[in-house]
Amino acid sequence: MSEPARQLDVRVGSATDALTPVSRATRSFAATRGQWLSLGALASAAVVADQVTKYVVASNLSLGDGLHVVGPFWIRHVQNSGIAFGLFSSATAAVIVLTGIAIAWMLGYFARSGARHPVLPIALGLVIGGSVSNLADRVRLGHVTDFLDFRYWPAFNLADSFIVIGVGILITALVLADRG
C-alpha cells in the first residue's frame, strides 16, 4: 500500500506565529488621509472656480447676451436646466437625484480604492468638484449657468470642463495601467 501524497506547504509571507501559511499578500486600497485631503482640496478649488466664473458672467451679462473674445469663442450667458447638450431639460428633479447618487458612489469608490492609483484623487477630485458645483446650481436655481460658447458646440461652463478633464484623466490612467 502506498502512502498518501504529501501536499507541499508554500509560504508567500509569514503570519504572526511564523507557522501559519499566508497564501496571498493583502494590501488595503482604501484612501489615505493625504489622498482625502488632495481630493477635497481639488474638488473645493473646482467648485470655487466654477461658482465665481458663473457669478461674474451672470452679474455682467444679461441672459442671452455675449461678448466676443476671439475667433469662434464667445462668453455668452446661457441657462441650462438639463444636462449635456440640454438633454433632460424638463427632468431637473431626476437630474438632481441621479447626480447626488453619482457623487455618493464616487465618494464610496474613492474610500475603498483611493490608494489603487496615484491619479485617482486628481481625476475624481475634478469630477466630484464639477458635479457638486452644477448640483448646487440645480438645487438653488433650477438650472446651471453656461457661458463658454464656441458657436459650433453647445455652451458649457468650468464645471463641465472639470468633469470631462477628470474622466479623461481616469480613462487614460486605466488604459495605461492595462497596457502593463
Active site members: 146, 160
Neighbours of 16 (CB within 10 A): 6
Per residue, what are the HEC states of the chain? CCCCCCCCCCCCEECCCCCCEECCCCCCCCCCHHHHHHHHHHHHHHHHHHHHHHHHHHHHCCCCCEEEEECCEEEEEEEECCCHHHCCCCCHHHHHHHHHHHHHHHHHHHHHHCCCCCCHHHHHHHHHHHHHHHHHHHHHHCCEEEEEECCCCCCECHHHHHHHHHHHHHHHHHHHHHHC
